Structures are given as C-alpha cells and as structure tokens.
Amino acid sequence: GQNIDQPTEMTATEGAIVQINCTYQTSGFNGLFWYQQHAGEAPTFLSYNVLDGLEEKGRFSSFLSRSKGYSYLLLKELQMKDSASYLCAVREAGAGSYQLTFGKGTKLSVIP
C-alpha cells in the first residue's frame, strides 16, 4: 500500500513563489506525478518525476528524492489563475502497473 501526505491548504501572494511538499511511503516506486485541479473540473497533468532531481517546465518545477520519499512542486510568478488544488500521485512498481494513488490534494489560494 501507499501513504501520501501533503498539506491541506496554502495561501500565497500573486507574483510570489510557493513550494508544495509531498511525502510518500510505498512498497515499490515507479514515478511521481503532480496534477492541477480546479474546482469541479478534472485534473490536468503538470509533471512527472521518476529519477531524483529537478524537472523544470516554465513556471512550474518538480523535485524528487526517492531515498527520502519526498517531492515538491514549485510554482513561480504566481498568478490568480493558479488558485487550485494540487494533487501529488504515486505510481507503484510492478509489471504493467499504471495505477496512480493520489494524495488528498493541497488547496492553493493566490491572493492579490
């Protein structure tokens, strides 16, 4: 099984930088995903990490440390439209396994 923890809520100011942390415990690891979900909508893919290190994609970056069971999503130059829930999801190792287990999500509120 898997246990995924992330903060429930965060608030940040427009134009600032915010880091959303995610810790996980799993019997086997085969990738970590970050998704953005606006209220009432389906999640949209943000990033994928399977090796240690930082993946950068525009204003969004994601970091992974497999030895620590830790990841973070970094959002730069925050915009009001970034207000959403951010879901950390882990894929467990196993042949042909593509199932994701999601954390409860971090609701980010961006304020002026």
Partner 1 sequence: GAVVSQHPSRVICKSGTSVKIECRSLDFQATTMFWYRQFPKKSLMLMATSNEGSKATYEQGVEKDKFLINHASLTLSTLTVTSAHPEDSSFYICSARDVGERPHEQFFGPGTRLTVL
Residues contributing to the site for partner 1 (CB under 8 A): 31, 33, 35, 40-45, 48, 50, 87, 91, 98-105
What span, in angstroms and rounded, lies between the C-alpha atoms of 94 and 24?
17
Report CA dihedral (24, 51, 34, 23) to the nearest 10 degrees: 20
- Of 42 and 81, which has the nearer Cβ to partner 1? 42
**Can you say how many angstroms the Cα of residue 90 is from the centroid of all Cα atoms in its chain?**
10
- Of 13 and 97, which has the nearer Cβ to partner 1? 97
Measured from the CB of residue 27, what is the shortest distance to partner 1 in angstroms?
16
Measured from the CB of residue 83, what is the shortest distance to partner 1 in angstroms?
15
Other Cβ atoms closer than 10 A to 63: 20
- Of 43 and 69, which has the nearer Cβ to partner 1? 43
Cβ atoms of 30 and 8 closer than 8 Å: no
Tokens representing 33 are 């995903």
Measured from the CB of residue 98, what is the shortest distance to partner 1 in angstroms?
5
Measured from the CB of residue 58, what is the shortest distance to partner 1 in angstroms?
17
80 DSSP assignment: G
- Of 96 and 112, which has the nearer Cβ to partner 1? 96
